């Protein structure tokens, strides 16, 4: 039976995926509205969602679920990718990833959202 943490992951996955999908659909003129998110906000949101996915992945791993390690590595890569420009901004590191634009963050959002939705069901297996 699904618990509160599972439903939280499911609905957060839907919101995260929609947050990434809406601007992509708007760019290709499939829908007529967009979300007013700046690149700075996207960086922080992708990093936060990546951290949340890491927590869900650890729960999946402790339940001996094979998808847990895949989710964990994807979440770690996405979170690190999102943290690099933030750390560069604060002067912690001296490099950044030059191709990190809005579209890349939106695609990362969709990927995170899908894995959060998967995690909602995988945490109960």
**8-12, 23-27, 90-94, 100-104: least confidently modelled range:** 100-104
Residue 84, both tokens: 């690099």
User: Considering its fold, how many domains does the chain have in total?
Assistant: 1
* pLDDT tens for each residue of 44-54: 999 999 999 99
The answer to whether the beta carbons of residues 9 and 67 sit under 8 Å apart is no
Q: Residue 113 is part of which domain span? A: 4-122
Residue 6, both tokens: 């599972």
Per-residue CA distances from 109 to 35, 61, 65, 85, 115 (Å): 13, 22, 23, 16, 10
* pLDDT tens for each residue of 80-93: 998 998 999 899 99
DSSP readout, 48-103? HHHHHHHHHHHHHHHTT-THHHHHHHHHHHHHHHHHHHHHHHTTSSS---TT--HH
């Amino acid at each position: 039976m699904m618990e509160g943490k599972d439903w939280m992951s499911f609905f957060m996955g839907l919101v995260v995926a929609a947050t990434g999908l809406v601007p992509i659909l708007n760019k290709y003129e499939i829908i007529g509205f967009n979300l007013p998110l700046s690149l700075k906000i996207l960086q922080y949101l992708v990093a936060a969602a990546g951290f949340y996915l890491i927590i869900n992945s650890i729960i999946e791993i402790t339940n001996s679920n094979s998808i847990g390690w895949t989710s964990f590595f994807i979440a770690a890569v996405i979170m690190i990718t999102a943290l690099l420009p933030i750390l560069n901004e604060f002067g912690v590191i001296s490099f950044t990833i030059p191709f990190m634009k809005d579209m890349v963050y939106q695609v990362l959002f969709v990927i995170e959202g899908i894995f959060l939705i998967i995690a909602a069901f995988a945490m109960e297996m």
